[in-house]
Amino acid sequence: MTMDLYLDSADRTALEPLLATGLFRGVTTNPLILQRGDVRLDAVPDLVGWLLERTSEVFVQTTAHGVDAIVTEGHALRALSDRLVVKVPATQDGLAATRRLADDDVPVLVTAVYDARQAVLAAAAGARWIAPYLGRMTESGRDGHAQVAQMVRVLEGTGTQVLVASIRTVDDVVTLAAAGAHAVTLGAAVAQDLFVEPLTDAALAQFDEAVATLR
């Protein structure tokens, strides 16, 4: 199984060269990501348009509170594009809203997931995705990788996939791929680190030296 790669950023300058590689399926955002990218809520439609010119899929999180308000906002976000996935926090109201949105054929990612029981609830709500926060789980003293692996097992055959967020290192990416995670979303710095391998650089330098003698 190929693990899909996403970028977790709203910084156009950082995103553009990474998206140009064609290796990243889409872009995920949340209010903190928007804040760091200096993107106000009224500028989200413009950001979504810019992103969808460069990639296949965009995730945008609801900011409302209360089931009805989350559902209304979710429909408004989905109206921006049929390639937009609505993100909803894994609260009781968020999960109830997810059920209603899923019943209306709106794809939903349940986000800020920290425990496998939340994965069970998200599947029951008809979520397309869950987003466990690996780094935050680990930093809180939990075994983040073990939790994610359990979520993958719990969700097998349900139609709900695991898109892991809050990833701190490229080693995490490899471990998650081996554990069967369906996708990861990476900050720009971690995404750039995926391409760094000193031994490859050294081999390329030797190739270039050899080419120079062959001209």
**Which pLDDT score is estimated for 116?**
96
Contact 8, 187 (CB under 8 A): yes
pTM, two decimal places? 0.95
> pLDDT per residue over 101-122, tens digit each?
999 999 999 999 999 999 999 9
The mean pLDDT of 79-108, rounded to a whole number, is 98
| CATH code of the domain covering residue 72 | 3.20.20.70
Angle of helix 12-19 relative to helix 44-52, nearest 10 degrees, comes to: 20
The mean pLDDT of 208-213, rounded to a whole number, is 94
Percent of the chain with pLDDT strictly greater than 90? 99
**Which pLDDT score is estimated for 130?**
98
Domain range holding 109? 4-214
> pLDDT per residue over 117-173, tens digit each?
999 999 999 999 999 999 999 999 999 999 999 999 999 999 999 999 999 999 999
CA-nearest of 88, 19, 93, 96 to 50 is: 19
* Mean pLDDT for the chain overall: 97
User: Structure tokens of 28?
Assistant: 């995920």
Biggest CA-to-CA distance, the chain: 70
Q: Band of the pLDDT at 69, cuts 50, 70, 90?
A: very high
> pLDDT per residue over 32-62, tens digit each?
999 999 999 999 999 999 999 999 999 999 9
Enumerate the active-site residues.
Answer: 87
**Which pLDDT score is estimated for 215?**
86
Q: Return all residues near 71 (Cβ < 8 A) that are at least 6 apart.
A: 97, 100, 101
**Which pLDDT score is estimated for 149?**
96
**Which pLDDT score is estimated for 142?**
94
CA-nearest of 164, 115, 124 to 142 is: 115
The mean pLDDT of 68-95, rounded to a whole number, is 98
What b/e sequence results for 62-95 when a residue is b if at least 16 CB atoms lie within 10 Å of its CB, and e otherwise?
Answer: bebeebeebbebbeebbebbeebbbbbbbeebbb
CA-nearest of 191, 161, 146, 195 to 5 is: 191
Number of domains in the chain: 1
Residue 160, Cβ neighbours under 10 Å: how many?
24
The mean pLDDT of 210-215, rounded to a whole number, is 93
Structure-token match 């995926």, residue found: 194
**Which pLDDT score is estimated for 125?**
98
25 has pLDDT over 80: yes
**Which pLDDT score is estimated for 1?**
67
CA-nearest of 200, 191, 150 to 172 is: 191
